């Protein structure tokens, strides 16, 4: 099948090349330096504020008392989080007013007043300021009755 007559070695299927390849030099002509090793970039892990522990809800009574207990605990858990909610000034005002009225917490009046002053619509800002005044009246009259 193969013609071995032109080979120099018996049984060889391939013809040897008359030219030989040069051997590489014993040492390279330039110094070999290892490639620099770069640290693998680390992607920073997002750091989120640890959630505030929820106010535990002990065994609540039944009926309306249970609902009021849940409401009080929800208000206690919501109050520190309100500043972290992305809301328009008008929404922030409404949320703050809801907290004031639901918890009877006069200490939030300053926040409601600041939010009211940031409302850009004149009519809505005027109504919000009226609501702040009414809440202040409620708390001051409540103190006068005591």
- What are the extents of the domains in the chain? 85-145
pLDDT recorded at residue 96: 93
pLDDT recorded at residue 48: 41
The pTM of this model reads: 0.54
Residues of the chain with pLDDT under 50: 43, 45-52
Structure tokens at 35: 């490639």
Can you tell me which residue has the tokens 């917490």?
105
The CA distance from 78 to 99, in Å, is: 9
- First-residue to last-residue Cα distance in the chain: 121
């Amino acid at each position: 099948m193969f013609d071995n007559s032109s080979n120099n070695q018996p049984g060889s299927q391939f013809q040897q090349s008359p030219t030989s390849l040069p051997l590489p030099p014993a040492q390279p002509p330039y110094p070999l330096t290892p490639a620099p090793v770069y640290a693998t970039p680390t992607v920073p892990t997002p750091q989120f504020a640890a959630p505030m522990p929820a106010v535990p809800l002990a065994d609540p009574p039944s009926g309306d008392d249970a609902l009021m207990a849940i409401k009080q605990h929800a208000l206690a858990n919501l109050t520190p989080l309100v500043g972290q909610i992305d809301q328009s000034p008008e929404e922030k005002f409404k949320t703050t007013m809801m907290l004031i009225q639901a918890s009877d917490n006069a200490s939030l009046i300053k926040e409601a007043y600041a939010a009211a002053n940031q409302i850009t619509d004149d009519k809505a800002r005027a109504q919000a300021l009226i609501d702040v005044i009414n809440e202040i009246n409620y708390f001051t009259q409540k103190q006068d009755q005591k």
